[in-house]
Chain A
Amino acid sequence: MTRTVLVTGVSGHIGARVALALAADPEIDRVIGVDTAPPPSPAGEDGAVLGRTEFVRVALRSPDLVKVIRDADVDTVVHLSLVSGPGGGGRAGGSGGGRPAMKEHNVIGTMQLLAACQRSATVRRVVVRSTTAVYGSSPHAPAVFTEDTEPVEGSHSGFARDATEVETYVRGFARRRPDVTTTTLRFATLMGPNVESPLTSYFSQPVLPTVLGFDPRLQFVHEDDAVEVLCRTARADHPGVFNVAGDGVLLLSQCARRTGRPVIPMPSPAFRFVSGLARGARLVDFSPEQLALMSHGRAVDTTRLAAELGWRPKYSTAAAFDDFLRSRGGPGDLPRALVDWLAAVVRPNS
């Protein structure tokens, strides 16, 4: 039996890496990558961005996609094209057409893709990338979310709402096609040397504004681990919904200290105002649910994934963040140097 994998959102960083890894697998005969924009030019670091992946430029909501799935006898669909911001957030999947286009891409695109899969006689496995943002960020929620936790506040906006709707469609699809294995992966914030996200650009600013009086718990998943989880679920049946995050949490204050950059705590309205300015200046593109995250934080339980895969992420949350920092020139040393200096000054016997 030949094996053909379709990867959507292949022009994004994670999509490209997943396609490349699957293409390198001798058990997989064909990898077809689709996206609305072509992948970054092969003049990148290693020449071949996608390996032997065949790229098809097609919008998820176009009828061409149905044809691709039917003609290529696709048996596994890896759906990664959820975009997190109207500007595309650095991901090539975004059409840059504002919030309506983003919703169209995320929600209607997924509907179309699943509709095509439902018709297909060959698709046996569907893997969908979602986000832990579906749990929201709230002072009234449990400290640690398991996959069964119902979000306390139903009304999210933007990305989280799209992901929630996407998951609803995936559940509907799984009900109608019980013979197809569906896997929903809720990823924590991606972190790593090549990740371009609102949070990574936030941590690259020279000073870090924070919300006065709040110190959220953050959780990261390293890009390598994200790719590994996606490949593992694309290769074998792992039905269900799984949280994906590095072990442990970091507090925002702890992250800021690790960067060695100064923080400016400001009252919540001022923080919103400043992030609006940063958005206008195209520095940091924080969405409303990320603003909530910066106050109340979020942590998820990952034991279900570990039990299912028999595998744990290689990077803890802290290790993923440190790896990201190393790639950005390492942490600043000023505070530590200050303490060393102070220690030398007050040292009584020298």
Chain B
Amino acid sequence: MNALLTDAIFDPIRIPLDRWFNDFINWLTFNYRPTFQAMKVPVEALLDGVSAVLLWLPPVVFIALVALLAWRAAGWRIGALAAASFTLIGMVGLWGLTMVTLSMVAASVLVCLIIGLPLGILAARSDRFQGALRPVLDVMQTTPAFVYLVPVVMLFSIGTVAGVIATIIFALPPLIRLTDLGIRQVPDDVIEAAEAFGSSEREVLFKVRLPLALPTIMAGVNQTIMLALSMVVIAALIGAGGLGRPVVEGLNALRIGQAGIGGLAIVLLAIVLDRLTQAFGEGSAAKRG
């Protein structure tokens, strides 16, 4: 009651921002929905491709491949952890959903890389671009996911692809920020040396800046993957498939067990992906001692 009374003080200068926002989204939907729908096409194709492969692979082969990769990249402990995690996921009956989630994560991270790396490189080259980009990234990172789920649904409708697009928006910022940071941290003397030997700007970028920024960029990739995984449950609210679905359904129907194993599978997936990407990041850092 008190709060409402206080709010009344502002009535003379009140602006109907909520309505404007509403109108803006409606206008966008009415005029540009086909454009946004078209943007779904490449994402959908990517997602379908990845999930087709993952679902086609026999689980035994998949587990063997992941264990092998983890072993080579991070040692036998992580290899064993990966094998055990995926076996457990299969044992609790969530193999198919996990593969769907994994392909959603993979598709969104791939799109993030395609968008984020060039933007990060540009941001590192230009202070002005960085300055313009920063508030946008802040908004992307701090806006609660539930707030932009509605516009996403209006523009992209519901389903797994819409979920992936919401995930991309949420997971993109750290990759851009850390690519920018990594490139800016490359020591000037190394760049000067490369220039003194007649390198072109392209060569400085690809032979010096990016390789030296790689550990930091990998930290960004790791962050992006973790954020993408954290969107799995939220994306299920707008009809995305995968491990979020049993969690949301379990919550709605108060089936704690179902929600619990869904959560367990997400955590296991997160741990394995985190260890793997960290190992890749450290691998590229360890090379320079």
Report if A and B associate in a common complex: no
